[in-house]
Amino acid sequence: MPTEAPRWAPPLLAIQFLTRLPVPVLARLTAEQAANGLARALAWLPPVGSLIGAVTALVFVGAQAFWPVWIAAVLALMVEALLTGAFHEDAVADFCDAFGGTAGGERALAIMKDSRIGSYGTLGLGLVVLLRTGAMVALPPPLAVAAIVGAATAGRLCAVTLAAMVAPVGQGSAARAGRMPPARLALAMLLALPGIAPVLWARPAATIAALVAMAVLLGWLRRFLLRRIGGSTGDCLGFAAAIGQSALLLAVAAR
């Protein structure tokens, strides 16, 4: 049995990785093929992020026909959490708990593995969700669709970029996928273009400013992680996705 994953596997593994959608055909893969495919699946995270963002945006815009905009935003984020299993939200809480204090090394890694949530995680997660909600509410419906899809895409691209910038540590999903090679990062950027293009066309200055801010944040995050734990984890990648997503939404919503 070959250990190389078939060409159709990485996009489907990316869907399985980021969502709770069933992908029965992946049961045909061996453990070795799944591991090989997961490393290649990282390049497909941005377009899967686009699909997740499209669902969130459609619920947000559609719900406004029945409820005030704040309720529509909360409902959209609830549907997204059900779709993704609150994947990145869990990462934000774990990251804030691990690094809100002075923990580093094995202690910080142990905190990120702990299923319990502390005060830093509660506050960090609450603020990130509030920022996303407030930014969505500030957007008119036609722009909201482009911004939400673009932010969801750019956030996953931030996670992929961090995976290329910092080697993984620990034994989680990031370690199994390994460090992102440059060619695969280039593919991820190419696959992210359809999701980001509409908001770039609608708000070019804001989108470019957000992308620059993301680059600065990723540079800071790289130095921070190397100093505190010597590498990156899946929670760190999820945190990068969340801050990238928030950065684009905030930039587009700015006056």
Taking the C-alpha atoms of residue 80 and residue 74, their distance in angstroms, rounded to an integer, is: 10
At 222, list the tokens.
């790289």
pLDDT at residue 1, rounded to an integer: 46
pLDDT at residue 3, rounded to an integer: 66
Within 8 A by CB and 6+ apart from 46, the residues are: 153, 154, 156, 157, 160, 188, 189, 191, 192, 195
Residue matched to tokens 């290649």: 40
Mean pLDDT in order along the chain per 10 residues (255 residues): 70 91 80 74 94 97 95 96 91 90 77 84 93 94 93 96 88 58 91 96 95 95 92 92 95 91
Q: What is the DSSP letter of 43?
A: G
Residue 24 three-state SS: helix
Q: C-alpha distances in angstroms, 219 versus 33, 128, 186?
A: 33, 20, 18
pLDDT tens digits for 66-109? 999 999 999 999 999 999 998 889 999 999 998 887 666 788 88
pLDDT at residue 192, rounded to an integer: 96
Taking the C-alpha atoms of residue 20 and residue 65, their distance in angstroms, rounded to an integer, is: 27
Taking the C-alpha atoms of residue 212 and residue 218, their distance in angstroms, rounded to an integer, is: 10
Q: Dihedral of the CA atoms 39, 220, 238, 236 (nearest 10)?
A: 80
Listed residue (139, 156, 149) closest to 196, CA to CA: 149
Cα 202 vs. chain centroid, distance in angstroms?
A: 22
Taking the C-alpha atoms of residue 77 and residue 45, their distance in angstroms, rounded to an integer, is: 19
Residue 123 three-state SS: helix
Taking the C-alpha atoms of residue 252 and residue 255, their distance in angstroms, rounded to an integer, is: 8
Taking the C-alpha atoms of residue 218 and residue 155, their distance in angstroms, rounded to an integer, is: 11
Taking the C-alpha atoms of residue 157 and residue 151, their distance in angstroms, rounded to an integer, is: 10
